[in-house]
C-alpha cells in the first residue's frame, strides 16, 4: 500500500525575470495516466543550470520564452504513485521502484524524425525535464513512465546522488565516447578538461572502453583525480605537445570538455592524421574551424548531445557492478542558489547532487 503523500512540497523554479532559482511551495503533482510520481531522493547540478540564470546565455534565451517551470534535469528517486495506464504498459514498475529519470523526455514516437532515426536524444517534440518542463529540484516530480530507468540496486548500494548525476554527467560523455567516437580498446584518447564530465570520461574510457587516457587540465587537483580514475598520462595544457612527443603518444581521438577556441585548437594540434575531434564542452559561444587545417590532417569533427535511454541502463549497470567509479558531492537542496553561484565562479571541484532538505538532514 502506498504511503500517505503530503499535499504540498518545496521546489525551485526557473523564472525568466530572476537570476537565481525561485523557491516555491506548490502542490505535489498528480501523475497523468502514463506517468509515475517520483519521490526525489537526489537531483544533479550542471553548468547548463548555470546558463539558465545568465540572461546573456544561449540556454536562457532559448528557454525563457517557455515561461516558468521547476528546474532540475538530473534526477533519481523512488516511485510512490502510478498513473492509471502504467500497470498495463510498464508492469514491472511498482510502488517503491528505485529509478533514474531519462532527462531528454523523448517522445519515442514512430512519427518523430529524431526518435525514428535513432536520435531520440535530440527529440524536440517535448521539452526536457528541468529544461522547459517540470524537473527534479523538488521533493516530488511527475515523470512519463517511458522516461523511467530502473536502478539495478538499492539506494544503499547505489547512492541516489550517484544515480542523479549519471543521468547527464556520465550519460553525456558515455554517449560521446562510445556511440559518436566509437572508442576501441588499445586506442589513445585525449580528455581535455577534467571537470565534472571530463573526470567521468576518464573512468569511462579506461574502465568501460579499454582505451588509454591522456588527461589535460590546468588544475593539479583535477589531474590527481584523473590519475585516481585511471588516466595513465596527465599534462598541463602548455606542456601537452612536448609531453606527447616525449612519451611517443599518438592521439587517436581528442575530446574537448571545455569547448573554447583555445582548447579546441589544442585538440587540433594534438590529434594524429585521420583522427577524431569531438566537442562536448559548451563554454564558448562559437568555435572557428579552419578548413585547411582540418583537410591536411584528414580529420573528423564531431559533436553530440546527452545520450540514449539504453545507454543510461548500461551506465547504471556498470556503476552497480563497481566497474565505473563516480565522484560526487552532496548538499541540501536549499543551498542550490549558492551552489550555482559557486559553480559559475569555478569554486565547485566535483559534480554535485542536491538532496531534499528533510532527507539530507536524516
Q: Tens digits of per-residue pLDDT, 242-287?
A: 999 999 999 999 999 999 999 999 999 999 999 999 999 988 778 8
Q: Which residues pair with 12 in a beta bridge?
A: 23
Q: How confident is the model at residue 3 (pLDDT cuts 50, 70, 90)?
A: low
Percent of the chain at pLDDT above 70?
Answer: 99
pLDDT reported for residue 136: 98
Do 126 and 144 contact (CB within 8 A), yes or no?
Answer: no
* CA distance linking residue 153 with residue 158, whole number of Å: 6
Q: How confident is the model at residue 2 (pLDDT cuts 50, 70, 90)?
A: low
- Looking at domain 171-303, its CATH superfamily turns out to be NAD(P)-binding Rossmann-like Domain (3.40.50.720)
Do 298 and 274 contact (CB within 8 A), yes or no?
Answer: yes
Q: Closest Cα partner for 15 from 68, 62, 54?
A: 68
CA angle 356, 361, 362 (to 5 degrees): 100
Q: How confident is the model at residue 347 (pLDDT cuts 50, 70, 90)?
A: confident
- What is the residue-averaged pLDDT of the chain? 94
Give the fold, CATH level 3, of 8-150+327-361: Quinone Oxidoreductase; Chain A, domain 1 (3.90.180)
pLDDT reported for residue 13: 98
Q: Closest Cα partner for 197 from 253, 251, 256, 138?
A: 256
* CA distance linking residue 169 with residue 190, whole number of Å: 18
Q: Is the pLDDT of residue 53 over 60?
A: yes
In this prediction, residues 67-77 reach a mean pLDDT of 97
Per-residue pLDDT of 119-171, as tens digits, reads 999 999 999 999 999 999 999 999 999 999 999 999 999 999 999 999 999 99
* CA distance linking residue 204 with residue 201, whole number of Å: 5
* CA distance linking residue 89 with residue 125, whole number of Å: 21
In this prediction, residues 78-107 reach a mean pLDDT of 97
Q: How confident is the model at residue 185 (pLDDT cuts 50, 70, 90)?
A: very high
pLDDT reported for residue 1: 43
In this prediction, residues 73-77 reach a mean pLDDT of 98
Report the range of poorest mean pLDDT among 19-28, 58-67, 317-326. Answer: 58-67
Fold match, 8-150+327-361 / 171-303: no
Report the range of poorest mean pLDDT among 166-170, 224-228, 281-285, 307-311. Answer: 281-285
Is 48 or 90 the better-scoring residue by pLDDT? 90
For the chain, give every domain's residue range: 8-150+327-361, 171-303
Is 344 or 251 the better-scoring residue by pLDDT? 251
Q: What's the whole-model pTM score?
A: 0.94
Q: Which helix (H) or strand (E) holds 205?
A: helix 196-207
Q: Is the pLDDT of residue 354 over 60?
A: yes
All cell numbers assigned to 244: 606527447
Amino acid at each position: 500500500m502506498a504511503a500517505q503523500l503530503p499535499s504540498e512540497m518545496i521546489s525551485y523554479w526557473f523564472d525568466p525575470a530572476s537570476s537565481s532559482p525561485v523557491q516555491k511551495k506548490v502542490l505535489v503533482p498528480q501523475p497523468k495516466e502514463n506517468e509515475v510520481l517520483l519521490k526525489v531522493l537526489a537531483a544533479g547540478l550542471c553548468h547548463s543550470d548555470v546558463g539558465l540564470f545568465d540572461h546573456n546565455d544561449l540556454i536562457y534565451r532559448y528557454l525563457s520564452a517557455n515561461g516558468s517551470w521547476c528546474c532540475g534535469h538530473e534526477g533519481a528517486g523512488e516511485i510512490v504513485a502510478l498513473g492509471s495506464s502504467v500497470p498495463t504498459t510498464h508492469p514491472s514498475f511498482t510502488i517503491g521502484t528505485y529509478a533514474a529519470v531519462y532527462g531528454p523526455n523523448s517522445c519515442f514516437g514512430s512519427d518523430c524524425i529524431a526518435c525514428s532515426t535513432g536520435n531520440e536524444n535530440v527529440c524536440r517534440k517535448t521539452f526536457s525535464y528541468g529544461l522547459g518542463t517540470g524537473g527534479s529540484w523538488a521533493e516530488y516530480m511527475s515523470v512519463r513512465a517511458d522516461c523511467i530507468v530502473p536502478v539495478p540496486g538499492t539506494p544503499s548500494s547505489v547512492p541516489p546522488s550517484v544515480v542523479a548525476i549519471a543521468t547527464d554527467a556520465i550519460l553525456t560523455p558515455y554517449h560521446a565516447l562510445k556511440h559518436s567516437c566509437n572508442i576501441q580498446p588499445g586506442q589513445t584518447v585525449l580528455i581535455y578538461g577534467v571537470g565534472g564530465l571530463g573526470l567521468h570520461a576518464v573512468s569511462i574510457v579506461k574502465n568501460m572502453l579499454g582505451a588509454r587516457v591522456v588527461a589535460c587540465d590546468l588544475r593539479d587537483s583535477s589531474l590527481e583525480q584523473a590519475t585516481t580514475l585511471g588516466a595513465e598520462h596527465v599534462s598541463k595544457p602548455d606542456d601537452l605537445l612536448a609531453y606527447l612527443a616525449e612519451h611517443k603518444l599518438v592521439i587517436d581521438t581528442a575530446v574537448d570538455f571545455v569547448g573554447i577556441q583555445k582548447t579546441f585548437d589544442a585538440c587540433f594540434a594534438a590529434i594524429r592524421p585521420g583522427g577524431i575531434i569531438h566537442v562536448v564542452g559548451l563554454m564558448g559561444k562559437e568555435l572557428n574551424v579552419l578548413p585547411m587545417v582540418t583537410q591536411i590532417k584528414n580529420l573528423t569533427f564531431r559533436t553530440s548531445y546527452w545520450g540514449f535511454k539504453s545507454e543510461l541502463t548500461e551506465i547504471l549497470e556498470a556503476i552497480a557492478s563497481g566497474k565505473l567509479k563516480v565522484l560526487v558531492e552532496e548538499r541540501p537542496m536549499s543551498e542550490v542558489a549558492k551552489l550555482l553561484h559557486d559553480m559559475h565562479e569555478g569554486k565547485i571541484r566535483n559534480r554535485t547532487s542536491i538532496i531534499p532538505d528533510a532527507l539530507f538532514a536524516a
